[in-house]
Amino acid sequence: MTYERLLKPEPQNWLMNHHDFGAQRYSALDTINRSNVRNLKLAFAIALGGTSIDEYLQLTPLVDDGFMYVVDSWGIVSKVDVRSGTAGQIVWQMNPRQEKQDRNRGVALWNNLVISQTGFAARVVATDRDTGKVMWETNLLDQADLELTTAPLALKDQIIVGGSGGDRGIRPWVVSLDARTGALQWKTHSVPGPGEPGSETWKGGSNAWQTGGGSFYVTGSYDPATNLTYWGSGNPAPAYDPPQHEGCASITTDHSMHVKGNFWGGVTGADGPITSSLVTLDPGSGELKKRVELPYPNYAGALTTAGGIVVTALIDGTILAFDDESLRELWRINVGTGFNAPPMTYSVGGKQYIAIASGLCCAGTAPGQYRNARVRISRTPELRQIGNATMVFVFGL
């Protein structure tokens, strides 16, 4: 995988987490379009996981010339041959032997390597694309409660990785690794420490730089013209300040939880059913153009294509396609297991496919679990018996 190919991905391939450095999740493929998307049907499915109960998938599959690269919540990377269009044949698997599962949003491709991360183990692993053999491994665990959940971003000769866990009162960062060796090149924290650029903006003499959070859960974008990479952060700690959330939800603050390692700060809950919507906006003015209400939460984001369609999915197992101008619904299917991973598209042999990974995160009773898709299911009576399968579903005409 050359840098030149990453700069200009071929239309038939999906070579990085957001498709391209601009992070638009837009594909130039148009074989599946407004006029025929109603004929979309399941081509095949790939089962992932199976190591334990309560698994989930949040990855975006990558595809390069008929081979798909995926990773499950145990960090197990699989190379899958999807050239036939009728089945996904696993070529190899790399198991990093994580002690516990975690959210994993995908891998990166660089030269002949597949770059992956290992959640709470905080290791970055480079695997040979041909053999499945581990070529290098770097441990980035520098503080308790750190985790790696983003898909790495591969640049010309660097691998950029974001750390998370800030909602537990740690210091998340973005780091750069040498793509050839895995050696650490630099590290930048989301909240600057004393004397670091930006530290003067944190007033009051607090220790926010130590415990203020600021996690990187989503892979950044990159501008080759300026050689700048952009990463959005979230999850401040403590999590809740009621005056800043008035009218959004019911919030109860618990100041006894404002200590490192127990930084939720309280509990929150929406009043009534939790729904979502799909909207189109004028990017210049911010004017809302169209809005479609959806009956359940959407953790999947959206895929847009040159075929004039928008594809998304819901926690009830429904996948939908809309006209990208009118937002008129064009197609839907329910597969019986929910989604909190985004859809993508690729083409093999001139035939276009749409793929999406299923399996809702996360089971558990920890205070932070309230935000996860599985808890949204528990708050929706008609969905409480829904299944939870870790699959990659692939659709074609």
- Predicted pLDDT of residue 315: 94
pLDDT of residue 387: 85
Which range among 144-153, 243-252, 370-379 has the greatest average pLDDT? Answer: 144-153
Average pLDDT over residues 203-224: 86
Let me know: does 211 contact 173? Beta carbons within 8 Å.
no
Share of the chain above pLDDT 70, in %: 89
**Rounded to 5 degrees, what are φ and ψ at 373?**
-60, -35
Region of poorest pLDDT, from 44-53, 116-125, 371-380? 371-380
Stretch 360-382: mean pLDDT: 70
Count of residues making up the chain: 397
364 lies in which domain range? 3-396
The mean per-residue pLDDT over the stretch 144-162 comes to 96
Q: Are 95 and 71 in contact (CB under 8 A)?
A: no
Domain count, the chain: 1
Per-residue pLDDT tens for 302-333?
999 999 999 999 999 999 999 999 999 999 99
What SS3 state is found at 241? coil
User: Contact 379/368 with Cβ under 8 angstroms?
Assistant: no
The reported pLDDT for the residue numbered 73 is: 94
pLDDT at 74: 94
pLDDT tens across 218-270, in order? Answer: 999 999 999 999 999 988 776 655 555 455 556 565 555 555 555 555 555 56
Q: Which helix (H) or strand (E) holds 234?
A: strand 234-236
CATH number at residue 55: 2.140.10.10
The closest of 359, 395, 377, 357 to 69, measured between CA atoms, is: 357
Mean pLDDT across 5-25: 97
Over range 135-156, report the average pLDDT: 96
Categorize the per-residue pLDDT at 367 as very low, low, confident or very high, splitting at 50, 70 and 90.
Answer: very low
Q: What is the pLDDT of residue 68?
A: 98
Query: If you compute the radius of gyration of the chain from its CA atoms, what whole number of angstroms results?
Result: 21
pLDDT mean over 75-83:
98
